[in-house]
Amino acid sequence: MPIDEYRVVHELRGRLRVRVPALGRRGFPVDALEYWIESRSGVIEAQANPGAQSLVIRFDPAHADRVALLRRLASFEPSAESRRVARKSGAAEIAPLVRTGMTLLLLPFLPPAAKHVLTFVNVGGTLIKGFETLVQQGVKVEVLDALAVGLAASQGKHYTANITDFLLSAGEYLEQRTERQSDRLLRRLLRPEPVSAWVERAGELIQIPGDAVETGDIVVVGVGETIPVDGRVIDGAALVNQAAVTGEDVPVAKEAPRRVISGSVLVEGRLRIEAVQVGENTTTARVARFIQESLDKGSATERTADALADRRVYLTLGTGALIYGLTRDSTRLQSVFLVDYSCALKLGTPVAFKSGLHQAARHGVLIKGGEAMEQLAAADTMVFDKTGTLTHSELAVTDVVVLTDQVCSEEDLLALVASVEEHASHPVARAVVEAAKDRDLQHISHGEVDYLVAHGLSAQIRIGRITVGSRHYLEEHAGIAFAPYEDRIRRLQDEGKTLLFVGHEKGPVGLIALRDTLRHEAWATLQRLRHLGIEHLVMITGDRRAKAEALGAELGFDAVHAEVHPEEKAALIAALQQTGRKVAFVGDGINDGPALVAADVGIAMPRGADIARATADVVLLDDRLGAIADAREIAAGTLGRIRNNFHAAVGINTGILAGAAFGYLSPVASALLHNGTTLGILLNALSAASPTGWSPMPMRRLARPQETPADP
């Protein structure tokens, strides 16, 4: 439904107010329009006012273009997703409040008959809603509200009926606004970061928003830029860091006709890419959709709260019938019917969950719904897959292996390779250069460096031409065979190390092994998890047993499983569960998927593979191990807040019910106290205390044993 008419009525930097007559049409999908505009990269918020027929758009001028936003507004076509979100959220209507307010102002000036007619016209919406609910769903709180208001109106208590209706409408309006705002906050968190793209069109290279790239476009990506599409390389060679999508820490070589994935970052070189999957069809967009679907799932706590709230409607109805049967006092009956447990119980629980989800996301953690938060709060055992979780992607040299006597020592070999690699900028080269600097090794003179992007490099030194790079490059391009050293190579690779091969025109020279390093906050995070109620800490790794047990003892793990094959991880999780433990598993690789599913709650690191993040219940958005402890603290705090809200709702409303039953509260007082209680519980549900251990700066290191790299 394209918007064929609009007019900009006010404009500031980053803010547009647009008059849209279509907003005043009956049945126009207002929420779908807001969602349509907000889903555009760079848009902060879109807020429609159907009564004023205006739309306010707040946006970041650095990532959203004014003309493009107006063009998107004009081409509005509500998608199935936007309609679903609109139905789910619903608009908070202020019209009933205004109408009731006007009615109360007019009542003093009208004759009795007119007061009667005006009152029934005003409360007619509440009466109709109650009747429809009774027919379609049975006895619910809407039925009790309609009975209370209808009784007052039929008895000529015009002020009581209208004031009660006003309080009910005010409570519903604030409840809907609160719930809708929490939904919008969470949807914004799922929006991908704005990415620009350089596209070849009409023989020119132009820059456009990443979500405006079309299938078949040729996208040019340079050093440091994010690949905005899933596509196929048609020209160029480069090193691409796919850690944000696949979990691979070491950049991989890309050249025609290899596939590239959106969200990857180009480290070296330059690529021309044909766009195959764009916009909502890219890998990152599909993961975001999966997460959105997960957020819509209710939790066991929410289902329990709904069931308890429904049962308490019958308690109110039965109490009202008993009081009326004993006293024949319709005023008491109205007061009793206006006491409602269900609003506080049904709304307070999901709002508390959404508040917790939003708070977690602000601390760099995406928890996929209330069910996942419940499981995280209940976990008593946490299992860490070592690589990529306790360690991070900053590579460090662990072994320098001299294979022949063409160089004198390990130091000579490291100095030689560092002297050549300092002309490259990829992570492996930086790690080698840093290792040489740490050992205070001297630069070795060499000739001009020949560099083949994504493969390796070579240079002339005193004893001949030296070549450094991947095994494939040295064996296939330089003709240097490493087969005689297969056992040493396999041993290093079995330990999870990345190898840099060094060769001379006469044959192999040496190997340099690298591996990611232990996170400096690992020990402090594990201690904090114990303080937060995790009773059993377990580490799983493919490392050799002696090495794994030494690291496990240093970090204080209760159990260490070494030399574990990927397919064995899920079985270890199942074995722990069979002993009665509630298990959380932390992993990041493609082969962690089964374990993430098997655990009661799976936690994926931010650099993890997309399949790991899709199957995980909790995804870290920041590469910070302390975020796991933050998530645990927020989950436990949210569940505690829900329990407190439940007890408060039941206790306070029971007191109000007793006051109404014994005639101490009028219908207006009963409605005021009940709605005040509901709003108080909603406000408490929205409050989310910041985790005590979180800081926007890196976590302060606690006193602990001497830290060492993952591979000493």
Could you list the active site residues?
385
The three-state DSSP-derived secondary structure of 432-471 is HHHHHHHCCCCCCCCCCCEEECCCEEEEEECCEEEEEECH
The pair of three-digit structure tokens given for residue 6, joined into one six-digit string? 């609009």
Q: Residue 578 — left, alpha, or beta (φ > 0 → left; ψ -120 to 50 → alpha)? A: alpha
Strand partners, 366: 619
- Residue 235 bridge partners (DSSP): 272
**Residue 340 CB partners (closer than 8 Å, separation 6+):** 141, 144, 145, 313, 316, 653, 674, 678
Residues 6+ apart with CB under 8 A from 557: 384, 526, 537, 538, 539
CA dist., res. 630 & res. 532, Å (int): 10
DSSP state of 401: E
**Residue 543 contacts by C-beta under 8 Å, 6 or more apart in sequence?**
386, 495, 496, 551, 562, 563
User: Which alpha helices (H) appear in 63-111, and where do they start and end?
Assistant: 66-74, 80-89, 95-106
Neighbours of 623 (CB within 10 A): 16
Angle at 546 between CA 540 and CA 547, to 5 degrees: 65
Structure tokens given for 686: 């929205």
Amino acid at 583: V
Instruction: Report DSSP state, residue 301.
Output: H
SS (HEC) of 320-336: HHHHHHHHCCHHHHHHH
**Integer Cα distance of 436 and 705 in angstroms:** 26
Residue 476 per-residue DSSP state: I
How far is the CA of 215 from the CAs of 210, 211, 212, 221, 228, in angstroms?
Answer: 12, 11, 10, 16, 12
* CA–CA distances in Å: residue 545 to residues 153, 265, 561: 80, 35, 8
Per the listing, tokens 């005193």 go with 462
CA distances from 709 to 60, 390, 391, 578, 632 (A): 42, 11, 9, 35, 27
> Nearest Cα to 689, choosing from 642, 634, 643?
634
- CB-based contacts of 124, cutoff 8 Å, min separation 6: none
How far are the Cα atoms of 68, 236, 262, 377 from residue 227, in angstroms, in the given order? 22, 14, 5, 37
Crossing angle of the two packed helices 522-531 and 626-661, in degrees rounded to 10: 20
| Contacts made by residues 404-411, CB under 8 angstroms, sequence distance 24+ | 404/504, 404/507, 404/508, 404/509, 404/510, 406/463, 406/504, 406/506, 406/509, 407/509, 407/510, 411/439, 411/441
Rounded Cα gap, residues 211 and 196, in angstroms: 8
Render 554-621 in DSSP notation, one character per residue.
Answer: HHT-SEEE-S--GGGHHHHHHHHHHTT--EEEEE-SGGGHHHHHHSSEEEE-TTS-HHHHHH-SEEES
Helix (H, G, I), strand (E, B) or coil at 218: strand
- Give whole-number Cα distances, 257 to 84, 213, 260, in Å: 39, 20, 10
Amino acid letter, residue 204: E
**Token representation of residue 551:** 């690291």
